[in-house]
Amino acid sequence: MPPGYDNYTTCYNIEVEEDTRNLIDGYKGLTNEQVFDALSKKRTGLEIAIENVEHDFNIGSIVRTANSFNVSKVHIIGRKKYNRRGAMCTDKYLEIVHHSTIEDFLGTQKHRELVAIENNTPRAKELHAKKFAPNTTLIFGSENSGITPELLANAADVRFIESFGSTRSVNVGAAAAIAMYEWIRQRVLG
């Protein structure tokens, strides 16, 4: 089992024609470890950091999206446990690392651009105007209190997702999907 995983075994390895896992056809019938290894050979330069997100579904949703964009690593800062059901077993195909402190996380981020996605600070600029670096780590925080001031102070850049309705922000899981896609659009599709 890849490092950073708990003993979570609700996904099973079965024959291709019976494989009901949410996998593209090329990975059907492979063991979880084989899928992990195949994806590892073509990971992007994007990493994701999730700091103290309170709702388990949001964490699982971010992990699932991170798998969809084949990010290099997901960092969970603070609270370790979450309900993996929202991840739809995609956590088996990613390297997920837990950091109990911000300092521990920052120690792994040398030579990476830290970009916080946060709308509750005067530092924030529009996401659409951002030109992403190849080795970026996107940081997402709690919907209630946002990214902590300590972590926000260590971000090289802060961006918000433009809103055109009456609400000032989107759900953190949706924000993560939008920001990851924008990085992919620029760095992989661009």
Ordered DSSP codes for 76-106: EES-----GGGGTTGGGGS-EEEESSHHHHH
Instruction: Give the residue from 186, 46, 185 showing the smallest Cα distance to 115.
Output: 46
Domain 43-189 has CATH 3.40.1280.10: yes
Please list the pLDDT of the chain residue by residue as tens digits (190 residues).
333 333 333 344 456 678 888 888 999 999 999 999 999 999 999 999 999 877 667 888 899 999 999 999 999 998 766 555 555 677 888 999 999 999 999 999 999 999 999 998 999 999 999 999 999 999 999 888 899 999 999 999 999 999 999 988 899 999 999 999 999 999 999 8
Break the chain into its structural domains and give their ranges. 43-189
The tokens for 42 are: 């073509």
The reported pLDDT for the residue numbered 8 is 31
**Given this model, what pLDDT does residue 3 score?**
36
Q: What is the pTM of this model?
A: 0.87
